[in-house]
């Protein structure tokens, strides 16, 4: 799974914390992963962080990404409920599970295509699905989700386009940081294979953690202002 530019620094921070805690284990498996490596990775992370500080567009892009990710996660319950109704009604398709897979991969274009197809299936089989317990507002829920994700996806694309000049000028340091992220994540997953600790080095989990942290921070900030 690819990571967004605005996720590089928080993901690197999380990996640095895990690497520092398990440095002796890493070094025992590969002598290059030592205190000097940790220090250089920290410096590279701080360099990217310094470049991003004060970038108003990046702040807006991070907020939009967080909101888009949240909208995707909010589909989990309605998709699972709708899938149960499909099973009961004997309607065989994998659209609901495909939508959730696309959410996890952050493929929101795929999510939108899935929602559109689901809406068509629901509309064509409304009476049957309702008789098996489908909520009366399901079509509306699907349409609202489609509209909200479309809006946020367009916002995200707009910010990404506006920030192209910044990322282009600094693509070298992003590429260098990505190498550190990839190397630590790959080795960590191998070292701790089969253990809970492996999740600390799994990009999918790190991405979810970053976006969850942003959501919680936003809630805390709102409560503190109140």
pLDDT, one tens digit per residue, over 56-70 is 777 888 889 889 999
Give whole-number Cα distances, 47 to 1, 10, 17, 201, 202, in Å.
24, 13, 17, 22, 24
> Largest alpha-carbon pair distance within the chain?
66
* Structural contact between residues 191 and 29, judged by C-beta atoms closer than 8 angstroms: yes
For residue range 158-199, list pLDDT tens digits in order: 888 877 777 777 889 999 999 999 999 999 999 999 999 999
Report how far Cα 41 is from the mean position of its chain's Cα atoms: 23
For residue range 89-134, list pLDDT tens digits in order: 999 999 999 999 999 888 999 999 999 999 999 999 999 999 999 9
Tell me the CB-side half-sphere exposure of residue 222, using CA atoms within 13 A. Answer: 6
pLDDT band, very low/low/confident/very high, at 218 (cuts 50, 70, 90): very low
Query: Is the whole-model pTM more than 0.75?
Result: no
- Give the pLDDT score at 41: 98
């Amino acid at each position: 799974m690819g990571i967004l530019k605005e996720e590089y620094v928080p993901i690197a921070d999380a990996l640095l914390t895990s690497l520092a805690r398990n440095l002796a284990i890493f070094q025992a498996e590969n002598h290059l992963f030592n205190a000097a490596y940790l220090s250089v990775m920290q410096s590279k992370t701080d360099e990217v962080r310094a470049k991003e500080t004060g970038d108003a567009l990046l702040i807006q892009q991070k907020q939009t990404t967080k909101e888009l990710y949240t909208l995707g996660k909010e589909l989990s319950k309605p998709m699972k409920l709708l899938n149960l109704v499909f099973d009961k009604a004997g309607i065989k398709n994998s659209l609901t599970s495909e939508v959730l897979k696309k959410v996890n991969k952050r493929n929101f274009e795929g999510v939108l295509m899935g929602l559109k197809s689901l809406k068509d299936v629901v509309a064509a089989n409304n009476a049957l699905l309702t008789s098996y317990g489908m909520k009366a507002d399901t079509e509306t829920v699907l349409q609202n989700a489609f509209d909200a994700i479309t809006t946020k996806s367009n916002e995200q694309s707009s910010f990404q386009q506006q920030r192209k000049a910044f990322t282009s000028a600094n693509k070298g340091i992003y590429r260098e940081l990505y190498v550190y992220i990839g190397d630590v994540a790959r080795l960590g997953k191998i070292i701790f294979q089969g253990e809970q600790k492996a999740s600390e080095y799994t990009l999918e989990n790190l991405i979810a953690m970053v976006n969850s942290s942003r959501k919680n921070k936003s809630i805390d900030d709102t409560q503190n202002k109140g």
